[in-house]
Every structure is written in structure tokens, then in C-alpha cells.
Structure 1
Amino acid sequence: MPRFDWFPKTLLGRTLLFIALVVATGAAALAGIARYYAGVASERAYDQLLAGAAIQVAENLYAQGGVLALNPPVAALSTLSRYDLVYYRVVDSRGVVVAGYGDLPGPANTVNARQGPDFANGRYQGERVRTATIARYMPDVRPPGWAVVTVAQTTHARQQLTNDMSFKVWTLILLMSVLALGASGLAIRRGLRPLAQIGQIIAARDPSDLRPVVHDTPSEINALIGAINGLIGRLADRMTAMQRFIADAAHQMRTPIARLDAQIELLSTESDPARHAARLAALRATCSDVGRLTGQLLNHAMVIHRTEVVPLQPVDLAGLAREVLGRTIPLADERDVKVAFESTAPQVWIAGDPVSLQEALSNVLHNALLHGKADDIAVTLASTHDALTLSVTDNGPGIAREHWEAALLPFERLGHEGAERPPGSGLGLAIVQEVMKAHGGRVGFAFPPNGGFSVVLTFPPPVSDTLGPGAAPPPGGSVN
């Protein structure tokens, strides 16, 4: 890409440059038109004088003894010679030059001259000349016929008049162009003043002041103000969410860390082997909880970050579900877990972020295995024209209906009716909710008719038709 370092960097400079180009183009066009019409005007003015001189010469022709003679109109010729050199020639009906310059060129055809002055351009004695030719019928000469009068004038005065008129018009055009550019610059500066005021208002604000910008501006700037206020609103929402998340995370981390400190203190003073082993097991469980909480906090921040900066790409949701299911089942420890996977097609492509989708599906399976204590899990992927659903169904007790909405909030740990508060951070389903929002989908819950509990992830329709076995992914796609 070529760089145009000469191009103005400011909006004022760019606008003035554009206006200057338009004004210069218009001025050049007007200057050309003015030059043309100045030439036409001077041509017509001097042609009138030249025609008058030719007519007066023709009127002063007379017959003397049957021979054509001329009484030169000195006044008419002197009027022309005041500005230029003047030449004339008179030819009788026999084609003999009876007066004037014999070598002065005339028209080859005199038919038009019989109707009135016939004008032409030519050269004579190394000068450009303008000629006017007129014919007069002379019945008294021998033989009777048409006498042809040609009067020529050099074009210096015409050119001078054209130049004078052009210069005056060009001066006016130049003054108007300068005035237009000056007025445009002032108008643009005045029009851009509200933008400068908005810039000063925003620059003077405290970073913590995320109130909408309120300022009386022209209607053309309202869209910009609206976009700025929209950005400020999104930043305010994001900062509020992050501050709330940090506060909740600090609160959630404080309790297990305090428990760790207390358990370490008790363990260091315990002398009974049996009680020492029990306290050590409790310490290991607390360490596991802290690790799990830290991991989910980082995963939650990672999901939010990827939602904002990572573009979506084609993802085979069926292959991704199989992979995550294979990695998650070993977390069931010694339990014998029955797993089933069913899909309407071997490959189902969606536009998504594979890392975030893996995290979401892993959290759903973790909840079923670790909190739901399920030993029968079925993952079903169904595609229709309207939506794509990924259902994870287990035989655990599930979440009570009145808690479904709260289950998607961060740090909400919901126990089953009659059970104690479960371990964990309460971030699993909140992460799933964030991922589904980023993919234009939603999280739902259901109690199937044949028992159990289902977490249903609903996506928009697939980006393409399902592909058969062995088919290649779309261009740019990747299978994880």
C-alpha cells in the first residue's frame, strides 16, 4: 500500500483540500469558458467594424468610362488602422485588380459574398489576418458583372481585447475562489467546534466517571455522541461486572484459605496418628477445593476475555463432545459410570470458539459427575432447521425448578433438598452461561419423562449442512 505522507492528517485539512480541488477544477473550467466567450465577443466586435469598412468600400465603387473605379473611404479604413494594419483589394467583373493589394488573398467562391459580408481567417505578409469580402453588382462597367471587395485586418487588437477581458474575468474568478476557500475554512472550523468541545469534556473526565456525555450538539453529531455513550455504558457494565466478580472471588477465596490455615495449624499440633491422618485427609480436600476454585476463577476470566477478542471459527460440535466426554469420565474415580453419546450426524459444524466450548461442556459433565453423583450419563446432539441442541442427561437428583435461574449465577452453590451445602465454587454453570451467550445460544434445564435431569445447550442453526463420514471440514475450520 502506498503511503501519502503529504496528505493532511486533520479533518479540517482533508476537507479544505477536497474543497480546494473542487474549487480549482471549477475555476479552471470557468477560466476556459471565460476565455472562449471573450474571444467570441472580441471577434464579433471587430467583425462588425471590418464588415462596415468592406461595405463602405463597396459603396464607393463607381464606373468611369465603363471602367471600375474607387473613391477610397479614408474614414472607414482609418478606424480599422487605429488598432491594426489594414489591407484591401478590389476586383472587377473581369477578375482584374483595380485597386488595393493585388496579392491579398480572397475567397475562391464569391457566391456567399453576394448575400453579405463573408468572413475568413488567413495569413498575409507573415501576419494572421481576418478578411471580410462583399460583392456588388456593377451594371455600368464593361462587361457588367460583380465587383468583389476584400478588406483584411491583422488580429493584434482582437487578441489584446480577448486578453484584457479574460484577465478581468480571471481576476474575479481568483478572488471568488479565495473567498470561497476562506469562507469554507471558517465554516469548517465553526462546524468542528462541537467535536473539540466533546473532546475537552471527555479528556477532563475522571477515569471512574462513566456517566453518559450530555452536551448540546448539532444533530449530525448525535450519532457520534450516541456511539460514545453506548461505549461508556458497555464499559460501565463491564467494570461493574468485573468489580463484582473480583469482590465475590475475594470473598470466596478468603474462606478456604482461612480453613487451610486453621487445618495446617491443627495438623502441626496433632499427635494422635488416627486424628493426624483424618486432619491430613481434610487438608488435602481443602487444597483440592482451593485448586478447583482457582481454576474456575481463571477459566471464568478466560471465557470472558475470549468472548471479546477471539473470532468464531467452524467447529465440529459432535467431535468436540466426544473428545470432552472421553477426558471427563475418568474423574468419576472408582464409580462405574455408564456413558452414551448419540448424534444425528457424524459431524455437525457450528461457528464457535473450541476452547470456550470445551470448557462449557466440561463444566456440565463435572457437575453431573462430582455434584450430581450420577453413574449414567447420556449426551445427545440433535440438529433441526431452527436450532441445534446438545443435551447432557444424567440419573442424578438434578436441580430443583425454583433454583434453575439462580444456578446460572456466579458463586451460587445449590444443594439438594435435605442435603448439606455441596463443595465447589458455584462457577461451573455461570461459565456455561457466558459461553452460550457468546455463541448466541442459551442454557436450559429439564426433567425428562423417563427420569433423571438434563442440561440443554441450545445453539443457533448450524452454519452448514451436516457432513458425511470422512468429509473435510470447511475452509479455515479445525476439529478439536
Structure 2
Amino acid sequence: MRRFDRFVKTLFGRTLLFIALVVAIGAATLAVIARFYAGVAAERAYDQLLAGSTIQVAENLYVQGGVLALSPPVAALSTMSRYDSVYYKVLDSRGMVVAGYADLQNAANLSAAKQGPVFANGIYQNKPIRIATIARYMPEERTPGWATITVAQTTNARQALTNEMSFKVWTLILLMSAIALVASALAIRRGLRPLAQIENIIAARDPADLRPVTVETPSEMQAIIGAINGLISRLAERITAMQRFIADAAHQMRTPLARLDAQIELLEHEDDPAQFAARLAALRKTSSDVGRLTGQLLNHAMVIHRNEVIPFERIELVALAKEVLGRAIPLADERDVRVSFQSDAEQVWLAGDAISLQEALSNVLHNALRHGKADVIDVSICTQRESVRITVTDNGPGIAPENWDAALRPFSRIGAPGQEARPGSGLGLAIVHEVMKAHGGSVQFDMHRPGGFSVVLALPMK
């Protein structure tokens, strides 16, 4: 039973069982049809023999002294009696039994019997019989009229012939079905051979080998090869990006950690209270930078992970923006920041990941407050036909247009126009870009004159 279960779970087993089921249904149908036509053929053959015997009996009738008589129909009946019991009855024009079995019943119509042999089925002496009846006009009788000749035969020979022909046809059907199943099994094995070849190629590969699979396969399997190569390509891209991210992260973490270690060393040997306080403040700032960098790295990894595995759900964008804006205001520290929010719709619904969108908007506001040193921030939501735009405008220096593309790449520290690169991890806008790309949206920048900078998040309203 376990072997059968394992067999059924294989593609070969399922396909072969399906073919076997179709072949079995077809064979059974053919067997029934063959049995029917074998019975018809046997019936016709023996009906012709029975009709011939009936005609011969009719030809043996004669009239003597005005009375109908019958010469013994030995020759007519001997052929049929080799296989079955044969019974006959002859009635003259008056309905009197001239010869044969008086109790042999016959329900044939006389007018039909005048045209030729009429056949019927019946029971005689508790045996199934086939009856043939024919009428012959006898003008020589004392009372001229139609004599009725009835010959009956048991059906043993018919049944035996039907069984013999059916058995031969059934044997042929069974043989052809077996050949069809064997041929199907061989064809399936041959058809699945490219899959086994693909399996062996992939199983023998080193995990680091992400080259496309190249193997000669039938055209029907090219879609599978294409899907596998597509998966390998995406996996290679993901691994490359992950390795690059790990390398960049290690590089980014190495400097602040080294600075942190050096500052601790200096702090241990500092005796001057004023220098000790200054070094302690620097140590705290470095520690804060390390924590912020670690948080940004984790957020970036979290966003990428959520984009791949978390399904979208319906979220309300206006409430989400207000919540993020409320959490971002404390980042201004001691600065007096004027914040405004407006939306052309009370509620804006779209499909997305709320946590990722919160992280993206939070990073835009963080850049404006921490790096842009803005003290005026305007957030607006504008709905269009099939999209919604979140615009964050501040009065900071912004990013020079020639650096807009670089600003969306991880670990790119871009300074304001005419200034050196700003401090930080360079991951904020990269996270925003990843979130927008996962939602089918985009990040756009706009530099206002004479001052001001805008970050526009465009999202489709699905």
C-alpha cells in the first residue's frame, strides 16, 4: 500500500494511472460493443440456417387424396440438430396439425409468413428457442389454403458462437490495451527524461554556481527552464545585492566603531575634567551615530524583507501621514519648527504595507529635520485619477539636482548645494526608494526658487 501511495504521488504514476483509467474505460466500452455485435452476427448466421431448414420442410409438403402430408424432413433438420434440439410443426389450411409437435406455440402473423420466414423468440420445454415460421399455399388440398410450417431451435449454438467470437475479440482488446499501457509507460519515461536530466544538473551544482541552466529539452519544457533560469537570475541579483549591502554595512560600521573604541581609550586616560567632559560628549555622539546607523541598516533590511513576503492590505493614507508627522516633530530638538498638513480628500485608500510606508515617510521627514535643518515643513496629499502624491516641502537647502539620482542609492552621503557631504548613513532616501519601488510608485525631487526643497512620493491607487 505504501508503495502504491508513493507511486501515485509521482508524475509518472499519476499520468500512467490516468492513461490506464482511460484505456480501461475504452476497453470496457469496446468489449460491450464487441459482445453486442458478436450476438448480432451469431443471430444472423443461425437465422439464415433456420430459415433454410424451414423452407426445406415446406418443400417436403405434398397432397395425397386431398389431404396434406409431409415427407420426413431428415435432411432439413439434421444439420441443425448437430448443435441444438430442433422442433417443428406443420398445420394445414384448416389449422389441423399434420406433423411435428402439436404443443409448439407460434404467434407469427399469417400474412407476414406468406411473404417469407418470420422469426420470433420463445420458450419450449423450459428451454429458450428461436422460431421461424413460413406459409405455403396448397391448392391441391380438399380445402385449398395456406399451410403453416414452424421450425424451432434451441439457442445453445448461438450462445456458444457469440461467446467464442466475444472471447477472441476480448483477447485482442486486452492485448491491445496491455500494449497501449506498456507503450504509454515507455513514452512517459522518455518524456520525463529531460526533467531527470535537469534534476541531475541542478543537484550536481555548487550552491555558489548561479549560471543559467542550459540543456536540450523539448519545446514544451522550455517554459520550465525559463522559470528556473528566471529564479536563478533573481536569486543571483538578491545574493549580489545582499553581499554588496553586507560589505557596505561592514565598511560603514567599521569607522564609527573604531572611533568609538579610540574615544573610550582616550577617555580612560583623561585626567582633565574639562577634556573629560568634552571627550564624554564626543563619545555619546559617536555612540548615538552608531545606534542610528545600526537602526538604519536594520530598517533597510526590514523594508527589503517586507517587500518580498508581506502581502498588501488596504490602508488609509491620510491617517497614516498624520501619525508619522506627529511622531517626527520631536526630532526637531530645540528648534522651533512650523509644520502644516493638508489633503484634498478626507480619506485616501490604497493597497500597500503600512509599516513600510510609515518608514518611508518618516525618513523623508527625518532628512528634512536632521540633515536639511529645516524649520518650516509642509506636508500635502493630492489625489489624482489613478494615483496619489505625498509632497514634503521644507525651507532647507535641499539636494543639488545633479545629485538626485545618487541620493537614492544606499550609503550615498550627498551634501546641500555648495556644501560638503552631510553626516549620516546615506540610507534614508534609499529606504524610501525601495518602499516606493515595491508599491509601484516613485520618488521625485523638486528645487524651488528662491529657496525650498520638495520630496514627492507618487503612489498608484490600486
TM class by shorter-chain length?
over 0.9
Shift of the alpha carbon at 1:28?
0.3
Q: Deviations over 1:309-360 (max 9, x none)?
A: 1000001111100000000001101111101111111110110001111111
1:188 aligns with 2:188: yes
Are the equivalent residues in 2 in contact too, given 1:369–1:375 (CA < 8 A)?
Answer: yes
Letter in 1 for 2:264: I
Are the equivalent residues in 2 in contact too, given 1:433–1:442 (CA < 8 A)?
Answer: yes
What pairs up with 1:91-102 in 2 under 5 angstroms?
91-102=91-102
Shift of the alpha carbon at 1:418?
3.8
Q: Deviations over 1:154-189 (max 9, x none)?
A: 000000000000000000100000011001101110
Distance 1:208 1:177 in 2: 49
Shift of the alpha carbon at 1:421?
2.9
Q: TM-score scaled to structure 1, two decimals?
A: 0.94
Distance 1:127 1:188 in 2: 53
- Which position in structure 2 is the counterpart of 1:277? 277
Distance 1:253 1:108 in 2: 111
- Which position in structure 2 is the counterpart of 1:40? 40
Letter in 1 for 2:123: R
- Which position in structure 1 is the counterpart of 2:307? 307
Are the equivalent residues in 1 in contact too, given 2:396–2:451 (CA < 8 A)?
Answer: no
- Which position in structure 2 is the counterpart of 1:447? 447
Shift of the alpha carbon at 1:111?
1.2
Instruction: Look up the SS of the partner of 1:68 in the other structure.
Output: strand
Shift of the alpha carbon at 1:87?
0.3
Distance 1:6 1:228 in 2: 26
Letter in 1 for 2:103: D
Letter in 1 for 2:210: L
- Which position in structure 2 is the counterpart of 1:222? 222
Distance 1:409 1:309 in 2: 23
- Which position in structure 2 is the counterpart of 1:478? none
Distance 2:202 2:155 in 1: 69
- Which position in structure 2 is the counterpart of 1:157? 157
Letter in 1 for 2:382: A
Letter in 2 for 1:388: V
Letter in 1 for 2:240: T
Shift of the alpha carbon at 1:6?
8.0
Distance 1:5 1:340 in 2: 67
1:428 aligns with 2:428: yes
Letter in 2 for 1:458: A
Instruction: Look up the SS of the partner of 2:271 in the other structure.
Output: coil
Are the equivalent residues in 1 in contact too, given 2:136–2:147 (CA < 8 A)?
Answer: yes
Distance 1:390 1:417 in 2: 24
Are the equivalent residues in 2 in contact too, given 1:318–1:347 (CA < 8 A)?
Answer: yes
Instruction: Look up the SS of the partner of 2:334 in the other structure.
Output: coil
Shift of the alpha carbon at 1:387?
1.8
Are the equivalent residues in 2 in contact too, given 1:289–1:423 (CA < 8 A)?
Answer: no
Q: What is the root-mean-square deviation of aligned Cα atoms in Å?
A: 1.2
Letter in 2 for 1:254: R
Letter in 1 for 2:157: A
1:297 aligns with 2:297: yes
Q: TM-score scaled to structure 2, two decimals?
A: 0.98
Letter in 2 for 1:420: E
Which runs of no fewer than 5 residues in structure 1 stay unpaired? 464-480
Distance 2:167 2:317 in 1: 78
- Which position in structure 2 is the counterpart of 1:417? 417
- Which position in structure 1 is the counterpart of 2:24? 24
Instruction: Look up the SS of the partner of 1:40 in the other structure.
Output: helix
Instruction: Look up the SS of the partner of 1:209 in the other structure.
Output: coil
Are the equivalent residues in 1 in contact too, given 2:108–2:120 (CA < 8 A)?
Answer: no
Distance 1:184 1:420 in 2: 74
Shift of the alpha carbon at 1:76?
1.4
- Which position in structure 1 is the counterpart of 2:9? 9
Distance 1:125 1:450 in 2: 123
- Which position in structure 1 is the counterpart of 2:63? 63
Instruction: Look up the SS of the partner of 2:397 in the other structure.
Output: coil
Are the equivalent residues in 1 in contact too, given 2:397–2:451 (CA < 8 A)?
Answer: no
Q: Which moved more, 1:288-297 or 1:103-112?
A: 103-112
Q: Deviations over 1:98-150 (max 9, x none)?
A: 11000001125211100000000000000000000000011111211100000
Distance 2:357 2:263 in 1: 37
Letter in 1 for 2:104: L
Are the equivalent residues in 1 in contact too, given 2:343–2:381 (CA < 8 A)?
Answer: yes
Letter in 1 for 2:124: Y
Shift of the alpha carbon at 1:448?
3.4
Are the equivalent residues in 1 in contact too, given 2:130–2:154 (CA < 8 A)?
Answer: yes
Which runs of no fewer than 5 residues in structure 2 stay unpaired? none
Shift of the alpha carbon at 1:417?
3.4
1:251 aligns with 2:251: yes
Letter in 2 for 1:356: S
Distance 1:218 1:314 in 2: 44
Are the equivalent residues in 1 in contact too, given 2:399–2:417 (CA < 8 A)?
Answer: no
- Which position in structure 1 is the counterpart of 2:199? 199
Between the two proteins, the alignment pairs up a number of residues equal to: 459
Instruction: Look up the SS of the partner of 1:187 in the other structure.
Output: helix
Distance 1:206 1:98 in 2: 102
Letter in 2 for 1:125: Q
Instruction: Look up the SS of the partner of 2:391 in the other structure.
Output: strand
What pairs up with 1:367-386 in 2 under 5 angstroms?
367-386=367-386
Shift of the alpha carbon at 1:451?
3.5
Shift of the alpha carbon at 1:420?
3.5
Letter in 1 for 2:52: G
- Which position in structure 2 is the counterpart of 1:178? 178
Instruction: Look up the SS of the partner of 2:116 in the other structure.
Output: coil
Are the equivalent residues in 2 in contact too, given 1:107–1:133 (CA < 8 A)?
Answer: no
- Which position in structure 2 is the counterpart of 1:408? 408
Distance 1:423 1:171 in 2: 89
Distance 2:70 2:119 in 1: 22
Instruction: Look up the SS of the partner of 2:110 in the other structure.
Output: coil
What pairs up with 1:309-328 in 2 under 5 angstroms?
309-328=309-328
Shift of the alpha carbon at 1:263?
1.0
Letter in 1 for 2:454: S
Letter in 1 for 2:198: I
Are the equivalent residues in 1 in contact too, given 2:61–2:71 (CA < 8 A)?
Answer: yes
- Which position in structure 2 is the counterpart of 1:477? none
Instruction: Look up the SS of the partner of 1:205 in the other structure.
Output: coil
1:261 aligns with 2:261: yes
Letter in 2 for 1:442: S
Shift of the alpha carbon at 1:276?
1.5
Q: Which moved more, 1:417-426 or 1:172-181?
A: 417-426
Distance 2:128 2:439 in 1: 84
Distance 1:7 1:321 in 2: 57
- Which position in structure 2 is the counterpart of 1:235? 235
Distance 1:6 1:336 in 2: 72
Letter in 1 for 2:183: A
